[in-house]
Amino acid sequence: MITGSLARRYAKALLEIGIAQQTYDALGKELDRAADTLRSSPELRLALENPVFSLEKRKLIMDELSRRLALSRPVRNFIMLLLDKGRIAALPDIARVHRTLIDEHAGRMRATVTSARPLDPMLETRLKTALEKSSGKVVLFDKREDPAILGGLVTQLGDTVYDGSVRTQLQQLREELLSE
């Protein structure tokens, strides 16, 4: 398990390369692609993390994967470095931190908006404007649908969560009644 500070150091190194080459957004997307692939395939993760397989074989697998995912040379070299250092398991964490660092560098914030049903575009625009106004940054929406929240919306912007879901209100009501 890699620590947050270590993930941040790796992510920052890749960001500096991207900034130097003016390709940090593209590198970020490539890294996300690679991280998603690793996250979604337990067999691949096992093959790359298992020391039973020699490093050369694992590098061959990663090389083939990089080719199929059309990863640029900096991202491929970065992943090979993680393999060399035995840190490939930390790729999803590094990708997440890298994305945050890119957003910070570009003056952006990511907001995860969860709704029970698809959000009306007009309301989405209004919400985005309001969030940009309150944060002072460009807000990128990551929309999710979750019927379990019953109704209303839940927005996570950075470390702040504004929960207006019916489920949460019901839970609050339940807690209030129980505490009486």
Partner 1 sequence: MKKSFAAFAVAALLAGPVLAQEGVAQETKEGQQSPEGGAYGAGADVNESESRGIINWWSWDYDTGGHHAKDPAHKGWPAPFGFALINFGIFLAIMSKLAWKPLKQFMITRHDEIAKNLDEAAKLRAEAEATLKQYETKIGGIDREIDTLLAQIRKEAEMEKARIMSAAEADAKRLKEDAERQIAAEIDRARRELRRGVIEAAVSAAEDSLKKNIGADDQRKMAEKYVHDVEVRAKAGRPS
Element holding 42 (H helix, E strand): helix 42-49
Q: Whole-angstrom Cα distance, residue 41 to residue 9?
A: 26
Footprint of partner 1 on 104-143 (CB under 8 A): 115-117, 119-120, 123, 126-127, 129-131, 133-135
Q: Is 55 among the residues that bind partner 1 (CB under 8 A)?
A: no
State the minimum distance, in angstroms, from the CB of residue 156 to partner 1. Answer: 9
* End-to-end Cα distance, the chain: 43
State the minimum distance, in angstroms, from the CB of residue 108 to partner 1. Answer: 16
DSSP state of 158: T
State the minimum distance, in angstroms, from the CB of residue 101 to partner 1. Answer: 21
Amino acid found at 158: G
Selected range binding partner 1 among 67-75, 80-88, 92-100, 156-164, rule: CB under 8 A: 156-164
Q: Residue 72 or 168: which CB sits closer to partner 1?
A: 168
Q: Whole-angstrom Cα distance, residue 32 to residue 75?
A: 10
State the minimum distance, in angstroms, from the CB of residue 126 to partner 1. Answer: 5
Selected range binding partner 1 among 21-29, 63-71, 72-80, 162-170, rule: CB under 8 A: 162-170
CA dihedral 126, 129, 130, 135 (to 10 degrees): 160
Length of the chain: 180
DSSP state of 146: -
Q: Is 21 among the residues that bind partner 1 (CB under 8 A)?
A: no
17: Cβ contacts below 8 Å, ≥ 6 apart: 27, 74, 78
Q: Is 46 among the residues that bind partner 1 (CB under 8 A)?
A: no
Q: Residue 26 or 152: which CB sits closer to partner 1?
A: 152
DSSP state of 119: P
Residues in touch with partner 1 (CB under 8 A): 115-117, 119-120, 123, 126-127, 129-131, 133-135, 150-153, 155, 157, 160, 162, 164, 166-167, 170-171, 173-174, 177-178
